[in-house]
Amino acid sequence: MSQSLPETDFEAAAGVEDDAPVSSPISGVPVRDPFDGVPEPLRAAFEQRGFSSLTEVQRAVLDADSPGRNLRISSQTGSGKTVALGIVLANELLEPAPGRSGPEALVITPTRELANQVAEELSWLFSKVRGVDVACVTGGTEVWKDKKPLAKKPRILVGTPGRLNDHLTSGVLSADSVRHVVLDEADQMLDMGFKDELDAIVGALPDERRSHLVSATFPPAVKALADRFQKNALHVAGTELGQANQDIEHIAHLVRRGESYNCLVNLLLMSQGERTLIFVERRVDAQELAEMLAGDGFAALHLSGDLAQAQRTRTLNAFKAGVISTLICTDVAARGIDVPDIARVIHMGLSNDPDVYTHRSGRTGRAGRKGQSVLIVPMTAERRIRRLLHSAGIDCNWRPGPSAEKVYKAITKQTRTRMFELLQADPVEGERYNEAELEYARGLLSDRDPAELVATLIKLAEPALPREPFPLGKADPKAGGFVERDRTPRAQSYVPFFINWGERGGANTARVIAHVCRRGGIKGQSIGAVRVEARMSVFEVASDVAQAFEIAARKPDAREPNLRVERFKGAVPAAPERRKGPPSFGSRRAPAPRSAADGRPFKTKKRTGARHH
């Protein structure tokens, strides 16, 4: 029978003061409290949130000698800048402010998603502070819906430039009580053309205030804005360029020109269900890529400024909830996407700005999780991308694109890993298998070869692929091209069709595939070879779906009523003039051209000059 020990103050008995620093049991050196300097209510919020320490930029803000100073906070994406901003605001917001006419802190962000993210972060940070509430007003929603939160006079107000300026101009919002104004993601604010709105907002604020800028980078244009916006500013830096997150692995896949999409599909097949964010350069690319991936059976949607706010919100919520695993977006649309468990970021096309790469890659590897930043690089762009990564201070692992064989091996390995984890886990009574299942298993073992039985079960346990992986070419750096192209034999027969849309009308392989899949109600895996000519395109459809496709494609298309789809018999009809512009991010070519209806093989049209994908 055990006896309970009497209550004793062991620290007092040992002569330890309550506020004495804790020493390391090994070195005897005092160990700093990870939240040293953080106000008590914010400390409680950190602990409730499960954080055990501050990030570099958050610690830098606390350690800076900055009473009354204007701050320029710079640190890479995903480093905790928003919470660092909250720490800056804390000291004054912890004190009551009776008689104020409006918010004390005004936080301006370039996009709606980022505004909502900042508001959410500041809300949990100040959740233990009585009387400090956070409101958010953004464009894309009904103006009248903002009146209720503004009438409550929140002490922190987050919003987009246009909507904040509207409320200040109409008199619904008073700026007389503002003591802090923050420009978050200032570089993007200028890129998006908000200079006039910012000038109007700042002009309406009291002269006696603190002005802060938060940005991952401070290029010359942002520095010029900062110099005009701030006086006596103190630069507080967290992690520097290329050092934002050691939890991110950087990988570049070198592919043959025209195989960017094929490589992307293989990457997605290798790790189905992992939350993936794909970046493209243009809005139209985002929509086309989402349609192509959806046609190939992937749970993918796109996010862009063309979407209505309600649809943007639904799309983002579906991504956060795991309803879709793949989200395609542009750099601007990605502002405010704060999903901590994004497994990887994939770059389909990239500008020459190293800061853009840093912003993008910072969307993964958050909250202590590991992540991957993956580039799909056509050989024609290899030298440019290597220079860009060097400028960004990134140590990148260059690999060939994953072959079809590698995809299958990866899937088998994942299945075996899950099986061994299940076998080695401590069984919870009644959860792994019951007696009836064991009896059934014994019966199977008595009738069949155990090795054959296990192999069959492993095959059944492998996830169903939305489509077969693509064969990819292998790089030959000496030749500057690809050799030993992996051609997987296919028994499938195909029927050729044509569409009166060619290069002069803005068509490329990716756009043709997206159009015919949507129009004919088929998946991308049913498309064979594709040839894009000047005024028309010829493509193949698997024979088992060709008849149904032909019937569906005969109907005029609501989006493109002038485009016709018919069986190809060798004639080349004229094509209507359509939008012009550079081809999209990637072209997809089938493994090998096959014969058309008249028995002649498809010939790939030669192109001059290099194209980046």
Q: Is the pLDDT of residue 493 over 50?
A: yes
pLDDT value, residue 429: 52
Residue 107 lies in a domain: yes
Q: Is the pLDDT of residue 527 over 90?
A: no
Residue 430 lies in a domain: yes
> CB within 8 A of 470, min separation 6: which ones?
259, 262, 263, 265, 266, 404, 591
pLDDT value, residue 22: 46
Looking at the structure, tell me whether residues 281 and 137 fall in a common domain. no
Looking at the structure, tell me whether residues 63 and 194 fall in a common domain. yes
Residue 466 lies in a domain: no
Print the domain residue range for 424. Answer: 407-461
Q: Is the pLDDT of residue 101 over 60?
A: yes
Residue 170 lies in a domain: yes
Q: Is the pLDDT of residue 137 over 90?
A: yes
Burial degree of 58 (CB within 10 A; 0-12, 13-18, 19+):
buried
Q: How far apart are CA 298 and CA 593, in angstroms?
A: 26
CB atoms within 10 A of CB 362: 22
Looking at the structure, tell me whether residues 598 and 512 fall in a common domain. yes
Residue 10 lies in a domain: no
Structure tokens at 202: 């700042």
pLDDT value, residue 474: 74
Residue 242 lies in a domain: no
Torsions phi, psi for 330 (to 5 deg): -90, 175
> CB within 8 A of 216, min separation 6: which ones?
74, 75, 76, 77, 81, 185, 187, 244, 355, 358, 359, 362
What's the pLDDT band for 598 if we cut at 50, 70, 90? very low
Q: Is the pLDDT of residue 550 over 60?
A: yes
Higher pLDDT, 300 or 558: 300
Looking at the structure, tell me whether residues 281 and 362 fall in a common domain. yes
Q: How far apart are CA 613 and CA 609, in angstroms?
A: 13
pLDDT value, residue 316: 85
Mean pLDDT of 291-308: 86
Q: How far apart are CA 219 and CA 462, in angstroms?
A: 49
Among 148-162, 449-463, 522-536, 598-612, the minimum mean pLDDT is found in: 598-612
Among the listed residues 469, 151, 549, the one whose alpha carbon sits nearest the alpha carbon of residue 297: 469
Among 6-10, 382-386, 424-428, the minimum mean pLDDT is found in: 6-10
Higher pLDDT, 355 or 7: 355
Last residue in a domain, options 211, 237, 263: 237
Mean pLDDT of 293-298: 87
Count of structural domains within the chain: 4
Looking at the structure, tell me whether residues 292 and 386 fall in a common domain. yes
- Are the C-beta atoms of residues 258 and 375 closer than 8 Å to each other? no
Looking at the structure, tell me whether residues 448 and 519 fall in a common domain. no
Q: How far apart are CA 136 and CA 159, in angstroms?
A: 5
pLDDT value, residue 410: 87
Last residue in a domain, options 237, 260, 278: 237
What's the pLDDT band for 157 if we cut at 50, 70, 90? very high
Among 265-279, 282-296, 304-318, the minimum mean pLDDT is found in: 304-318
Question: How many alpha carbons fall within 13 Å on the CB side of residue 188?
Answer: 26
CATH code at position 194: 3.40.50.300
- Are the C-beta atoms of residues 81 and 125 closer than 8 Å to each other? no
Looking at the structure, tell me whether residues 282 and 181 fall in a common domain. no
**pLDDT tens-digit series, residues 216-230:** 777 777 788 788 888
Among 109-123, 128-142, 178-192, 402-416, the minimum mean pLDDT is found in: 178-192
pLDDT value, residue 584: 41
**pLDDT tens-digit series, residues 465-489:** 888 888 887 755 443 443 333 444 4
Mean pLDDT of 84-107: 86
Confirm whether pTM is higher than 0.85: no
Quote the mean pLDDT of the chain. 78
Last residue in a domain, options 217, 237, 257: 237
Residue 399 lies in a domain: yes
Q: How far apart are CA 452 and CA 467, in angstroms?
A: 26
Looking at the structure, tell me whether residues 278 and 350 fall in a common domain. yes
Looking at the structure, tell me whether residues 230 and 261 fall in a common domain. no
Q: Is the pLDDT of residue 522 over 80?
A: yes
What's the pLDDT band for 28 if we cut at 50, 70, 90? low
Looking at the structure, tell me whether residues 413 and 399 fall in a common domain. no
Among 302-306, 332-336, 513-517, the minimum mean pLDDT is found in: 332-336
pLDDT value, residue 245: 60
- Report DSSP letters for 293-311, one per residue: HHHTT--EEEE-TTS-HHH
- Are the C-beta atoms of residues 364 and 248 closer than 8 Å to each other? yes
Residue 559 lies in a domain: yes
CATH code at position 578: 3.30.70.330
β-bridge mates for residue 248, sequence order:
371
pLDDT value, residue 17: 44
Looking at the structure, tell me whether residues 164 and 260 fall in a common domain. no
Higher pLDDT, 132 or 18: 132
Higher pLDDT, 251 or 246: 251
pLDDT value, residue 509: 82
pLDDT value, residue 7: 44
Looking at the structure, tell me whether residues 412 and 394 fall in a common domain. no
CB atoms within 10 A of CB 588: 21
**pLDDT tens-digit series, residues 64-74:** 756 778 888 88
pLDDT value, residue 359: 79
